[in-house]
Amino acid sequence: MTTNKVKKTDAEWRAMLDSMQYEVTRHAATERAFTGKFWDHHAHGIYTCVCCNTPLFASDTKFDSGCGWPSYFQALDPANVTEIVDRTHGMLRTEIVCAVCDAHLGHVFPDGPPPTGLRYCINSASLRFDPQP
């Protein structure tokens, strides 16, 4: 993706996001499992970043992983997500952030279905949904 980075002040992020969206995207919080609006969502469309509307995941890559968060087996465009080594909470994980605005999205794990074997475990609070015909 060739879009310029989206930068806002903390006050600007707070003004545009609700409290859960702000904590998840700007401070890497995690919503409780089975509580987000997209964990059991099955409509056809594109999931975009709640902070900058960058297209992140297509509904046809979403699957039920049983973890309580929306899960996808691939990003819509790998250039739209950035992987970061995450050593918090005594674990070694791969954090996923939006490549355009650095919003925390969730984590990616190597235990997903074919064809990629990946499970992008994403907070609903970091997403918007754009229905497609």
Q: 52 a known binding residue?
A: yes
DSSP code of residue 24:
H
Catalytic site residue from 121, 122, 125, 127: 121
Give the Cα separation of 57 and 35 in Å (integer). 20
Give the Cα separation of 68 and 119 in Å (integer). 12
Q: 49 a known binding residue?
A: yes
Q: 51 a known binding residue?
A: no
DSSP-H helix ranges across the chain: 10-16, 19-27
67 is catalytic: no
Give the Cα separation of 75 and 55 in Å (integer). 9
Annotated binding residues, as ranges? 49, 52, 98, 101
Annotated binding residues for Zn(2+), as ranges? 49, 52, 98, 101
Q: Which residues are catalytically annotated?
A: 121
